[in-house]
A and B are shown apart, each in its own frame.
Chain A
Amino acid sequence: MLDAQQIAFAKNPEVFILGEDVGDPQGGVFGTNKGLQTEYGETRVRPTPIAEQAIIGAALGSSIAGMSPIAEIMFTDFFGVCMDQIYNHAAKQRYMSGAATHAPMTIRVQAGGGMGGFGAQHSQSMEAWLLHSPGIKVVYPSNPVDAKGLLASCIEDPDPCVQIEAMILLYTMKGEVPVGDYKIPLGVAKVLREGTDITLISYGWMVNQVLAAAEELAKEGISAEVIDLRTLMPIDYHRVLDSVKKTGRAMVVHAAVEFCGYGAEIASTINEELWDKLKAPATRLGAAYAPIAYSSAIEFTQVPGQAHVVTRVKDIMKA
């Protein structure tokens, strides 16, 4: 992500970062901007007051004037204090103005969860809020390569984009990324593992739990196809439906609360579109309907993990 930002900074002098603690020496609370302020100065990397409405508003206004800001919100849990600027203003500006103005801005936000110990206000997955607000594009990478490629596309997109970055991946996953101006187009999902019995659809850090589950299932003779959505909006229904046509079964897995979650929406569409081709109803697996517990022992039971996925898939196969 640092790489994507560095390239964007070099390409376009009107790209700038603003957010809490984004400057050097720390380069953001997760260090994802390290060195950028030193190289480009305080007007390109702007540490802000702890004021999320001011951050998103400043990004939005400058983008309406034609700049390409990257606003950083520390945790998705903090959307609550700036949602008005996101869903009422950034998301709607192009539509409400009849395209007289638009907002080419990017929001980078970290999502907690899956690690334990961060509590109910730093561990949530709030992507459904964004997805329920027409006008915002949302990406949620599951690995460093996608994080770079999707972020680069977001920065150059003419409309507001949110990249959700999983804290657990920032801490645990390292990998080589392509050098240079590498972009992954928005709205293109990726089949990470081919299979014939069931399609498992996921995104973000949960993808890695699902891949591990697929490995486990293979040992028991169940062949699972795994799709990483990468972009949640616009969603790549083409790849999803094609896969389910082949397997006849589908389950969406996410870390967000299952009730009224994105999985329900996708499963519903699959059921409507492929009703006569399904061997079992498409379904979804998400977190229990409860705030995330501070205790990791509780959190790991309330948010899906590898074992939950395996159990549910076996149930579906029996049906």
Chain B
Amino acid sequence: MAQSNLAIEPETLKAIYGQMSRIRAVDKAIQAGLSAGKFMFTYWPLTGQECIPATISQLITKDDYMVTTYRGIHDQVAKGVDLYGMFAEALGREDGVNKGKGGSPHISDPSSGSMVTTAIVGAGAPIANGLAISAKERGEDRVTIVNFGDGATSIGAVHEAMNLAGAWKLPVIFMCQNNEWGEYTPIPKYTASPNFYGRAEALGFRGVQLDGNDPVAFYNGMKDVIEHVRAGKGPVFVEAKTFRLGPHAGVGDNMNVDKDYLKTKKEQAPVDKTRALLVEAGICRGSRCHRRSGEEGSRRGDCQGDGIDRDPGERNAHRRLRRSLRRPGARQLSVPRGRGRTACRNEDDVHRRSGARRPADRLRQKSGSLHSG
């Protein structure tokens, strides 16, 4: 392998990519199903923002708390929420992770540390403080990460929460996924102060700006941030620069953006870029790796009416979702093993080869325990 110049362990980068791939697979499956009319629910796409939670997933455990928003499927997938339960929840079914009463904008799954998901912009931040208070008072070294978009920086709840977290030195990370759009309004239209991370400094605690589309830089930046917070040195506000390739709600492209700009942003999007980096660094071999994303040369097919596509690289995540739909009573998620030994052939391979704990393993271990509530 010839990846010696990378500022990250190859195994870690592979694991990050594995999570990005899972997120991409879920995103694509949902968009395909919605487009084909196979199922219907409101979807707020996260396309383009996969790198942020994928990277964070390699720095935290299920014991760390997470709060996110309705645009949070990527956060849920990376945190380890059961894919079956999450998808059933989005469909409003009784076997959903929250019995179909919350839906995708209100996932709450303490077994994976995904505590609260809110559909009210900015409202998660004050709640995250409370989770952080419990960790601090109990002497636990958990961190609480609250995700929100750049749009949420305008609302009072976020400001109030940041001020309190600073005053009480709470172990909380304000994760601002700056995707350049507050619903349908771009940043310059809604604030004269676009350096969001600077607001933390104004409130007396640390704020950093990181490239949320660059797994290597983001990993190293977040490693430092999480160590800081875990060590009890107070909160950190992270402005993770990314871009929302999709619309505020629905499927497809972000139609509010100039076409050329969108093209540039698509080129900068993290999934393909990270795959290319893995190949270039010699961590994965090209041809097999290349088939993962499914943008080129993928095979698509109608899978028993659920509209999930069959790209080889995403087969396993799709398979799990598909089986979920077919067998509503089944709690065991079936993930095929040993499908090939070629580098990066599929998501499972990435995990197996990297030695990272596969999310699917975690899911299998805890499956069946979600209905106890």
| Interface, chain A (partner B; CB < 8 A) | 14, 16, 43, 46, 48-49, 51, 53-54, 56-67, 69, 84-85, 88-89, 92-93, 95-101
Contact = CB atoms under 8 A, between A and B. Distances in A.
B167 interface: yes
Interface in B136-157: 137, 144, 156-157
Contacts of A56: 126
Contacts of B126: 53-54, 56-58, 60-61, 85
A62 B134 contact: yes
A101 to B, nearest CB: 5
Nearest to B103: A96
Given A43-B137, A95-B101, A100-B373, A61 B123 contact: no
A61 B373 contact: no
Interface in B225-248: none
Given A84-B157, A89-B123, A60 B130 contact: yes
B100 interface: yes
Interface of B: 65, 67, 96-102, 106, 108-110, 115-116, 118, 120, 123, 125-135, 137, 144, 156-157, 160-161, 163-164, 167-168, 370, 373
20 contacts: A14-B137, A49-B164, A56-B126, A57-B123, A57-B127, A57-B128, A57-B129, A58-B126, A60-B126, A61-B128, A61-B144, A62-B134, A63-B130, A65-B130, A65-B135, A97-B98, A97-B106, A98-B101, A100-B370, A101-B373
B107 to A, nearest CB: 8
Contacts of A93: 108, 116
A14 B168 CA distance: 17
Nearest to A16: B137
A85 B131 contact: no
B130 A69 contact: yes
B97 A98 contact: yes
Given A95-B101, A100-B108, A61 B134 contact: yes
A61 B97 contact: no
A48 B98 contact: no
Contact of B134 (A46, A65, A88, A95): A65
Contact of A85 (B67, B101, B123): B123
Contacts of B123: 57, 84-85, 88-89
A99 B118 contact: no
Contacts of A100: 97-98, 108-110, 370, 373
A77 B144 CA distance: 32
A51 B110 contact: no
Given A53-B156, A88-B123, A89-B127, A66 B134 contact: yes
Nearest to A101: B108
